């Protein structure tokens, strides 16, 4: 999708600010969400958000425009993507159009932005 001048991407947004924007939209669209407040005693790599609006279950890792995925995050994303009925995404601020479609639809999202083992490039988060 093309962006109009009023839909410019804020490349300086922090991951925390982006998380708040995504959570706010999720709530407006009727999704329940879970986000680990602090992951000190949790296994590494679990995606930032778990979102549910039956019958859909979404896992989303949020990154800034320059943020990189760790090898642990890639491992979790791959495992979750291989799990039936889950939708897995790597979302950045320039993913906003896709996020709106994902939250607004009753049907699972099938676009190329959905994470699969085949559609990501490497653990450096180049995708």
3-state secondary structure of 22: helix
126 in a structural domain: no
Whether 60 is in a domain gets the answer yes
- Cα–Cα distance measured from residue 47 to residue 72, given in angstroms and rounded to the nearest whole number: 10
* Continuous H helices in the chain: 15-28, 71-81, 96-104
Question: To which H or E segment does residue 51 belong?
Answer: strand 49-53
Evaluate whether residue 8 is within a structural domain: no
The predicted pLDDT at position 55 comes to 95
Residue 116 placed within a domain: no
Of 58 and 10, the structure prediction assigns the larger pLDDT to: 58
Q: How far apart are alpha carbons 82 and 79 in whole angstroms?
A: 5
**Backbone phi, then psi, for 42, in 5-degree steps?**
-105, 155
Whether residue 120 lies inside any domain: the answer is no
pLDDT-derived band at 39, boundaries 50, 70, 90: confident
Domain with residue 83: its CATH number is 3.40.1350.10
pLDDT digits (tens, 9 = 90+) for 65-123: 999 999 999 999 999 999 999 999 999 999 999 999 999 999 999 888 999 888 774 44
pLDDT over threshold 80, residue 124 = no
Domain total in the chain: 1
pLDDT greater at residue 123 or residue 44: 44
88 contacts 113 by C-beta, under 8 angstroms: no
pLDDT in the model for residue 7: 56
- Give the relative orientation of helices 15-28 and 96-104 as an angle to the nearest 10 degrees: 30
> Is 20 a member of any domain?
yes
Q: Which domain holds residue 27?
A: 13-36+44-104
Cross-strand bridge partners of residue 113: none
Residue 65 lies in a domain: yes
pLDDT digits (tens, 9 = 90+) for 3-32: 444 456 677 899 999 999 999 999 999 999
Q: What is the pTM of this model?
A: 0.85
The confidence score (pLDDT) of residue 32 equals 98
Decide if 52 is inside a domain.
yes
């Amino acid at each position: 999708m093309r962006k109009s001048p009023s839909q410019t991407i804020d490349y300086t947004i922090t991951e925390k600010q982006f998380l708040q924007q995504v959570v706010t939209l999720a709530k407006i669209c009727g999704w329940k969400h879970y986000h680990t407040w602090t992951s000190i005693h949790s296994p590494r790599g679990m995606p930032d958000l778990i979102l549910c609006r039956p019958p859909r279950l979404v896992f989303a890792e949020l990154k800034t425009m320059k943020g990189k995925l760790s090898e642990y995050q890639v491992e979790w994303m791959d495992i979750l993507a291989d799990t039936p009925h889950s939708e897995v995404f790597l979302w950045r601020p320039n993913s906003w159009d896709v996020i709106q479609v994902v939250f607004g639809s009753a049907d699972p999202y099938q676009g190329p932005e959905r994470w699969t083992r085949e559609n990501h490039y490497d653990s450096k988060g180049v995708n």
